[in-house]
Amino acid sequence: MNVHEEFIGLYEVASIQADMLIAVIKDCLLRLNLSLNKVRGQCYDGASNMSGIRNGVAKKIRDDEPRAIYTHCYGHSLNLAVGDTIKNSSIMKNSLNTVHEITKLVKYSPRRESLFNAIKDDMSPGNIGIRTLCPTRWTVRADSMQSIIKNYSVLQELWDQAISVTRDTETISRIRGTSSSDSLLVSNILFILGYVFPDPENSPGSFLFTDDEGTTNTTGLFFPFVLFCFSAFFFAIASFLASLLANFIFFFSSHPFFLAFSFV
């Protein structure tokens, strides 16, 4: 069987209620002269309006065509699994939280965003701007972290100038807290993104590894990166084995009949 995949388009909807979405889907199929009776699969995320067992889009379409089997989006499922895994890694969790805080400080304030753009145009006119990190939009996380790396010097200057023009004490505390954690954040991001720069002069983090003569040296990053990977791997294995052993002991201590049966 040859599978043919084609992007149909983007459609604006007045609301995200299931009935509205179904009406748009059916209208789209009708315009393309495709019959709903030939639909054999549906793939959405896990939102209740899409996959709800009573009133979701998948349920209502299956009412019309039972052979349209619903499958939870594999990309979204993978993102949920990775998101839960990240919560168990303090380095990754803290880094993403700090990146999110940086993007909020810059993008949610027109004054600071304007100041950031002015500094960037003066210091690094060719660099991209800050990419907003949205916790529920899993495709933007790497781009957001890379934008922090590339604008590191600009952000340091921004924090100094922003403090001098900010009157709100809570915002000043947030800026100072973010500024003090920037250097550690960059190191963590380099590990997370796996930067072992093949082209040091054009790498986004090359400014972190320059000597007094301005020569870039990134070879010292390789060993710490490998050590970090091995440490994270063995820590994950040790945590898994410890959890497995604890569950094993708890289960057999609370199920003596099964324990006795297992030795027969």
Residue 159: closest CA among 138, 142, 180, 140 = 180
Q: Please compute the mean of the pLDDT values over residues 149-170 and round it to a whole number.
A: 89
Q: Are residues 96 and 30 in the same domain?
A: no
pLDDT of residue 165: 87
Q: How many folded domains does the chain comprise? A: 3
Indicate whether 5 belongs to any domain. Answer: no
Structure tokens at 41: 């699969």
In a domain, 13, yes or no: no
* pLDDT score, position 262: 28
> Is residue 44 in a domain?
yes
For the ranges 100-104, 157-161, 165-169, 220-224, the lowest mean pLDDT is seen at 220-224
Q: Which of 217, 238, 254 is the last residue of a domain?
A: 217
Q: In angstroms, what CA-CA distances link 78 with 22, 46, 96, 141, 218? A: 26, 12, 18, 14, 32
Q: Which residue has the higher pLDDT, 248 or 4?
A: 4
Confidence at 261, pLDDT banded by 50, 70, 90: very low
In a shared domain, residues 120 and 208: yes
Helices 90-107 and 152-165, axial angle in degrees (round to 10)? 60
Task: Tell me the pLDDT band of 205, cut-offs 50, 70 and 90.
Answer: very low
Claim to verify: residue 177 and residue 68 sit in the same structural domain: no
User: 239 lies in a domain?
Assistant: yes
- Residue 252 CA to residue 77 CA, distance in Å, equals 33
Same domain, residue pair 211 and 100 = yes
Q: What is the pLDDT of residue 184?
A: 66
In a domain, 49, yes or no: yes
Domain shared by 201 and 149, yes or no:
yes
Contact between 162 and 125 under an 8 Å Cβ cutoff? The reply is no
Please tell me which residue, 56 or 197, carries the higher pLDDT value.
56
Tally Cβ neighbours within 10 Å of residue 98: 21
Q: What is the mean pLDDT of the chain?
A: 75
Strand pairing partners for 43?
71
Q: Has residue 250 been placed in a domain?
A: yes
Same domain, 26 and 137: no
The predicted structure's pLDDT at residue 47: 86
The predicted pLDDT at position 209 comes to: 40
Ranked by mean pLDDT, which of 23-27, 187-191, 236-240 comes out on top?
A: 23-27
Taking 70 as the threshold, does the pLDDT of residue 28 lie above it? Answer: yes
Q: Which tokens go with 56?
A: 């979701």
State whether 190 and 125 are in the same domain: yes
Residue 78 forms part of a structural domain: no
Cβ-based neighbours of 26, under 8 Å, separated by 6 or more:
36
Check whether residue 184 and residue 245 sit in a common domain.
Answer: no
- Identify the three-state secondary structure at position 260: helix
- Asked if 143 and 65 sit in the same domain, the reply is no
Give the domain range for residue 183: 86-217
**171 & 254 share domain:** no
- In the chain, the percentage of residues whose pLDDT exceeds 90 is 18
- Supply the pLDDT for residue 232: 58
Quick check: is 111 in a domain? yes
Three-state secondary structure along 159-195? HHHHHHHCCCHHHHHHHHHHHHCHHHHHHHHHHHHCC
Residues 230 and 172 in one domain: no
For 178-194, what is the mean pLDDT? 67
Q: Identify the pLDDT of residue 33.
A: 92
**DSSP helix/strand/coil, 136:** coil
Identify whether residues 91 and 204 lie together within a single domain. Answer: yes
